[in-house]
Amino acid sequence: MREVRLALLAAVTGSALWGLSGTAAQVILQGYLFPVWGLTTIRMLGAACLLLAVARPKWPRPWTASFASMAILGLVGSQVTYLEALFYSNVTTATLLQFLFLPMVAGYELASGAIRWSARWAALLALAAAGTMLLVGTVSPHGFSILITPLGLAFGLLSAVAGAYYTLATRRFVQTQSAQWVTTWGFLLGGLVTAPIGAWTLIQYHWPATLASAALLTGLVLFVVVAGTLLAFTLFVYGLRKLTATEAGVAGSFEPIVAATAGLLILGVALSSLQYVGGGLIIVAVAWLGGTVHSRVEPEKRVGRP
């Protein structure tokens, strides 16, 4: 029971760090016009090197096609498409579109029998989805609208698909390996794949002329590498050890809350009353999720009792 609660806390914390990282990435991409592929390469290889130095996970024997697929299509795919969606829209819009991965994951796990559909699941998913919609969108007499461009929409939808695949594919490996093992080798492989394009875009990039501006850019990139990549992914992957992919996805609903709050405090984006309601609905959904995982593990505690 304690391990399940700890897994839920890890997934929520990881998603919160993603929210902060998304806000920092918006400043990097839109404020400094930093290349998406360059940032992806730096964050993946940087996080991999730090994990190799600290965790020193064992070498994969052998490298399998399924792990390579998870690293390239899942890890790289979800990051590149999300950053592109963020560049062509904003952090809250990109988060909304990426959150569509949750119904994709839930549908797959329902079809495969990993979770059993119930009124509780329907209400929980509805709360999380409605909360996210209210948090990152605008409701007017003309309906619901978000700030979006065709490219922003396309990359946002692709980020949802890649995120769903990453969440589902990662569970297979984290059941037998540590979270550090999965993220270290996944980041290393993904970073090596993106390195040729990333290095080319970085060579073409015009770095800030002033020392203060360059220092701020460096600090933001380091934050994305350490907090938004190394810590966020490792914590979320750890959560997948004890949670279903759908449960971890609902816990990930904390990302738009943190992203919206950071946008207010750092970028000056004010929240409306409906957005605060949306954030409240997400908090309720995550709290309800705690009761759901509690009821899921209770029968295990009763096994063997007279």
Q: What is the mean pLDDT of residues 36-41?
A: 97
Instruction: Please report, for residues 52, 133, 244, the alpha-carbon distance to residue 137 in angstroms, rounded to integers and kept in the order given.
Output: 40, 6, 28
Written as six digits, the tokens of 7 are: 């897994």
Nearest to 82 by CA among 246, 248, 255, 237: 255
Our measurement of the distance from residue 189's CA atom to the centroid of its chain's CA atoms, rounded to an integer in Å, reads 19
Rounded-to-integer distance, Cα 145 and Cα 101, Å: 20
pTM of the model: 0.84
Cα separations in angstroms, 228 against 47, 68, 114: 10, 22, 29
Q: What is the pLDDT of residue 295?
A: 54
Of residues 7, 2, 23, the one with CA closest to residue 257: 23
Residue 113: DSSP 8-state: T
In this predicted structure, the answer to whether residue 269 has a pLDDT above a threshold of 70 is no
Under the banding of pLDDT at 50, 70 and 90, the label for residue 298 is very low
Q: Which residues lie below 8 Å from residue 11, measured CB to CB, with a gap of 6+?
A: 235, 236, 238, 239, 240, 243, 247, 248, 251, 252
Maximum pairwise Cα distance, the chain: 74
Nearest to 90 by CA among 39, 144, 22: 22
CB atoms within 10 A of CB 226: 17
Contact between 154 and 110 (Cβ < 8 Å): no
CA separation for the pair 239, 14 (Å, rounded) = 9
Provide the pairing of β-strand 143-145 with 138-140: antiparallel
pLDDT number for residue 69: 95
Length of the chain in residues, anyone?
Answer: 306
Q: Quick one: what percent of the chain has pLDDT higher than 90?
A: 42
136-182 residue pLDDT tens: 777 677 777 776 788 988 999 999 999 999 989 998 888 888 889 99
| pLDDT at residue 41 in the model | 97
Torsion sign across C-alpha atoms 142, 144, 146, 152: negative
Report residue 139: phi and psi, to 5°.
-105, 125
> What tens digit of pLDDT does each residue of 45-61 get?
999 999 999 988 988 87
With tokens 């380091």, the residue in question is 222
Residue 11, token pair as written in the block: 């997934």
Please tell me the predicted confidence (pLDDT) of residue 250: 80
Q: CA-CA distance, 54 to 87, in Å (whole number)?
A: 32
Residue pLDDT, tens place only, 20-31: 999 999 999 999
Query: What average pLDDT score do residues 188-199 get?
Result: 97
The pLDDT tens digits of the residues spanning 61-109 come to 778 999 999 999 999 999 999 999 999 988 878 887 887 888 888 888 8
